[in-house]
Structure 1
Amino acid sequence: MAHITGKRPKLALFPTKSVPMAPGATEDDFTVYASFRGSDSSGYYGTLKVVRTTDGKILYPFEGVEQIGPFGSKPDAIAAAHRRGDEIVNGDLKNPELEQ
């Protein structure tokens, strides 16, 4: 299973080196950051970031991506984000995105 963490990902605004695109070989080559946002009144939305650790490529989110939710509870929103993360990882393992 991909590495899952509740910590916020590091943000690198100005990377110091260029890393060649490299596909992941196993689920261990990905990190999935899943959480939620929202409230009881507005509903809960899953938040997700998926990073391929072999080259640092951010696979999710991407421009135009739809929201994950709304859900009636925090655990439901987080579970949905984890499911989406697993889909992204499995998709990239089968057909790696190697374009910048």
Structure 2
Amino acid sequence: MPRHKANLIDEAVEIFATYERLSDGRYAGKLRVLRKADRKLLFPFDGAPQIGPYETPEAARQAALDYGRKIAAGDRAAPER
């Protein structure tokens, strides 16, 4: 994913959410979640699920952002090393 400004930054994480067009014309969310304290990549990981498909790029991007928020909340509740 190209480096761009984070869509959401708080005290613990940076969330980068965008989308990609699939071969069937629909869209999948693309997500990158970084823990700020140690720059650990929380998403994507090996075996990470595809986010989507969705009919519009906006829906795919919003789904990725929502999923990123869930990952961040889970990391706050039980941080991995």
Task: Read off the aligned partner of 1:81 and give its amino acid letter.
Answer: A
Q: Which runs of 5+ in 2 are unaligned?
A: none
Q: Which runs of 4+ in 1 moved over 6 A?
A: none
Q: Which runs of 5+ in 1 are unaligned?
A: 1-5, 10-26
Q: Calculate the TM-score normalised by the size of structure 2.
A: 0.85
Partner of 2:39: 56
Please give the alpha-carbon distance, in whole angstroms, between the structure 2 residues aligned to 1:65 and 1:37: 16
Partner of 2:66: 83
Count of aligned pairs between the two proteins: 76
Contact 1:40 1:72 in 2 (8 A): no
Q: Calculate the TM-score normalised by the size of structure 1.
A: 0.69
Using the TM superposition, give the Cα deviation of residue 66 of structure 1 relative to its aligned residue in structure 2, in angstroms: 1.2
Please give the alpha-carbon distance, in whole angstroms, between the structure 1 residues aligned to 2:33 and 2:23: 26
Choose from 7, 15, 21 the match for 2:4: 7
Task: Read off the aligned partner of 1:75 and give its amino acid letter.
Answer: E
Task: Read off the aligned partner of 2:65 and give its amino acid letter.
Answer: H
* Identity within the alignment, %: 33
